[in-house]
Amino acid sequence: MLFDSLGLRAELITAVSKKGYATPTSIQAESIPLILQGRDLMGGAQTGTGKTASFTLPVLQRLMESGDAKTKAGTVRALILTPTRELAAQVAESVSDYGQHVPLSSFVIFGGVNINPQKQTLRKGVDILVATPGRLLDHVSQNTVDLSSVEILVLDEADRMLDMGFIRDIKKVLAVLPKQKQTLLFSATFSPDIKKLANGLLKTPALVEVAKENSASELVSQVIHPVDKKRKHTLLSFLIGSNNWKQVLVFTRTKHSANKLTERLNKDGITAAAIHGNKSQGARTKALANFKSNDIRVLVATDIAARGLDIDQLPHVVNFELPNVPEDYVHRIGRTGRAGTEGEAISLVCVDELKLLKGIERLIKSDLKKVTLDGYEPDPTIKPEPIQNGRHKQHSKKPAAKAAPHSKPKSARPKRRNNQNNSAHRPDNFGNR
């Protein structure tokens, strides 16, 4: 099957050809004709399946063929919601690439950057708006965007938006949208919460599910290297140096771990940069650009910040720390082994993470290969420590002293500092408005 058999217009086929594509992926072949018919759709597709083009191309065509083809000042005709800045930028780039030969305007908005230039563009009206929920609501509250004329709504990576706690924001957005519209929902998994959202949002939707849930590409070789926690960064530097890896995406559980590892790699002479929710948008964009251009060898990322990263022929993914959620393991290693190219996924696992590893193996229904490297054998006397909220539990050096019989009342005592309120140690659930 070729793209020109899906009912797409010549202008879009030309843009697809310029990107070097001739044959649609499964999600594209099944979704595009249904969306062109005006159907609501619930699509199950993981990263690397061509999901973005499966809705971008038909949305462009639907708007071109719509009777009300002129965008009014301040209005939006198609709204695409994404969970993170990086994914929003990636989707906006696809809209621009595929729409280069059609007379439609597009724009992307997200937090972390000056809102005023966004206001100026939105007041003119936009055919296709790609947005993160928080920044979109900022504009709604300031009356700089009118969503009452939206013809098509797309929720991309809906599962991740719910995981990040955006359900309230999504409901607020839905409240200002017209009832009559075409709605497309894409998700890597169909959890009960996703199904509940879909039931209240979609009207007799078509269901397209092409990727096996919780599966990894057969082109990705997976291996576990057991190692003590304190020796992980040394082993990572050894692997990168001895194998002469030029491009490595490394995952950590927390922002603090990402910063610390990046600093150590650079001290070892391995150029690296980190991306996470506490980094400015400019810093994140620069780090990703340097990684894609091979100006740095290692990009260290948290799970949230990595959503939407699209790196052609990425050869190596390393789990410096296993994720708390087993499904995130599949998302992580799905960054490599794309488009028919082979990839390698390596996980450095300490004794603390053995329960997490078992959870991953249960999910993917496979026992991962374990290879202990000479000189990095784990110390069998080390006992596991609990991992809480994406980080290792902090232990006091001294046990807490019992209160004296005549100690000060509770209100008069100095407040203890709660480490969980320290954003440097939080799981990366923030900073992606």
Query: Is 113 in the same domain as 250?
Result: no
Asked which of 157, 179, 209 is the last residue of a domain, the reply is: 209
Query: Is 243 in the same domain as 147?
Result: no
Query: Is 122 in the same domain as 97?
Result: yes
Q: Is 419 part of a structural domain of the chain?
A: no
Q: Is 397 part of a structural domain of the chain?
A: no
pLDDT of residue 220: 86
Closest CA to 3 of 64, 59, 54, 46: 54
Query: Is 294 in the same domain as 345?
Result: yes
- Rounded CA-CA distance 197/151 in Å is 19
Closest CA to 100 of 147, 56, 144: 56
Check the CA dihedral 28-34-40-44 and report its sign.
negative
Query: Is 205 in the same domain as 224?
Result: no
Query: Is 265 in the same domain as 365?
Result: yes
pLDDT digits (tens, 9 = 90+) for 88-116: 998 999 999 999 999 999 999 999 899 99
Query: Is 99 in the same domain as 140?
Result: yes
Could you give the 3-state DSSP secondary structure of residue 417? coil
Residue-by-residue DSSP string for 266-287: HHTT--EEEE-TTS-HHHHHHH
pLDDT of residue 414: 41
pLDDT digits (tens, 9 = 90+) for 51-63: 899 999 999 999 9
Q: Is 136 part of a structural domain of the chain?
A: yes
The boundaries of the domain holding residue 11 are: 3-209
pLDDT digits (tens, 9 = 90+) for 386-419: 886 544 444 434 444 444 444 444 444 444 444 4
Q: Which residues pair with 130 in a beta bridge?
A: 80, 108
Q: Is 430 part of a structural domain of the chain?
A: no
Q: Is 138 part of a structural domain of the chain?
A: yes
Look up the CATH number of the domain holding residue 299: 3.40.50.300
- Per-residue tokens: 207: 């269901």
For residue 225, what is the enclosing H or E element? Answer: strand 220-226
Q: Is 398 part of a structural domain of the chain?
A: no
pLDDT digits (tens, 9 = 90+) for 275-313: 987 888 788 889 988 998 999 999 999 987 666 666 777
- Per-residue tokens: 266: 């650079």
pLDDT of residue 29: 92
CB proximity list for 73: less than 8 A, separation 6 or greater: 123, 124, 125
Query: Is 53 in the same domain as 146?
Result: yes
Asked which of 178, 209, 240 is the last residue of a domain, the reply is: 209
Q: Is 379 part of a structural domain of the chain?
A: no
- Rounded CA-CA distance 288/310 in Å is 10
- Rounded CA-CA distance 10/240 in Å is 46
Asked which of 350, 370, 390 is the last residue of a domain, the reply is: 370
pLDDT digits (tens, 9 = 90+) for 24-69: 988 999 999 999 999 999 998 776 678 899 999 999 999 999 865 5
Query: Is 204 in the same domain as 229?
Result: no
**Average pLDDT over all residues of the chain:** 85
pLDDT digits (tens, 9 = 90+) for 152-163: 999 998 988 887
- Rounded CA-CA distance 183/42 in Å is 9
Query: Is 144 in the same domain as 36?
Result: yes
CB proximity list for 280: less than 8 A, separation 6 or greater: 112
Q: If pLDDT is split at 50, 70 and 90, which confidence band does 426 have?
A: very low
Structural domain count, the chain? 2
Query: Is 61 in the same domain as 187?
Result: yes
Tell me what the mean pLDDT of segment 170-188 comes to: 94
Nearest-10 crossing angle of helices 354-364, 326-333:
70
pLDDT digits (tens, 9 = 90+) for 325-349: 888 888 888 888 766 678 899 999 9
CB contact at 8 A, 254 and 425: yes
Q: Is 420 part of a structural domain of the chain?
A: no
Query: Is 189 in the same domain as 263?
Result: no
- Rounded CA-CA distance 280/424 in Å is 14
